[in-house]
Amino acid sequence: MNIWIAGARPRTLPAAIAPVLIGTALINIDGQEINWVNALLALGVGLLLQIAVNYSNDFSDGIRGTDEVRVGPVRLVASGLKSSTAVKNAAILSYFLAAICGLVLSLRTSPLLIFIGALAIVAGWKYTGGKKPYGYSGFGEISVFVFFGLVATMGSYFAQSQTITWRAFLLAIPMGALSCTILGLNNLRDRPKDEAVGKKTLAVRLGDARARIFLILLLFMAFATSIAASVITPWALIVLATTPFYYLLIKGITSGAIGARLIPLLGKAGEVQLLTALLITFALMITKA
């Protein structure tokens, strides 16, 4: 069981939890009570999709041979710890459970969520799966920003309100930018090996120096839009407390760290995203409508 937990890459799960926290707490600004059943269903969709994507990536990269020499989290297929069939089935089961949560949520809210959920599942599988995976062409960050930023945050708010507002969109931006930072750091770490096997991630296309600049821009975007949330509630300025953590991330990126030396930065990026979400959630919850 520990092997399956490691294969699910638990360090990536804050990227699924953070936007649900914010999207759910935003309902407090409307003077409404949180629907905890819908909140838990939205959280289930987010977590299960993240786990499903991790397993499907492990499967697809493993059978292609692009994960044979890697640093970072354990690869179940490439390392021979689990068969490709077993990992594929784990991915399918996770997608199925996510779909069940999404279906129940849609029945409680709007059929529109069925369509959005289907797109998310297809995007998750096609990231490294299929004949032409878009993750191998440098479009992974766009997908992550859309689905783990915009859709996850605004969708969680929609599950509470059945509406979409500019406030939900604004709060979705830092979540998307920080999720992209996690993926970008992962791709920067793997850039030399990805380039060698023809996996043209955005880091490969940009090259080392420009990939680092891109990551710094993402962090600035996340920080700036988090601060901009003060137009929703002045309490959002509490996210200024994350300034030292952003500084450490940027310092680590500009230090020229490569390979395994980037792994601690991945963990820090996940922590910054979760901390940012917790602080904004706190700010939203203590604001009176």
Predicted confidence at residue 20, as pLDDT, reads 96
Predicted confidence at residue 70, as pLDDT, reads 60
Predicted confidence at residue 155, as pLDDT, reads 95
The domain ranges of the chain are 2-285
Give 182-187 contacts, CB < 8 A, sequence gap 24+.
Answer: 182/12, 182/15, 182/266, 182/269, 182/270, 182/273, 183/140, 183/141, 183/144, 184/141, 184/211, 184/214, 184/215, 184/218, 185/215, 185/253, 185/262, 185/265, 185/266, 185/269, 186/72, 186/266, 187/140, 187/211
Predicted confidence at residue 72, as pLDDT, reads 61
Mean pLDDT by 10 residues, the chain (289 residues): 83 90 94 94 96 91 71 76 90 96 96 94 91 89 94 96 95 96 93 86 94 97 97 96 96 90 90 96 88
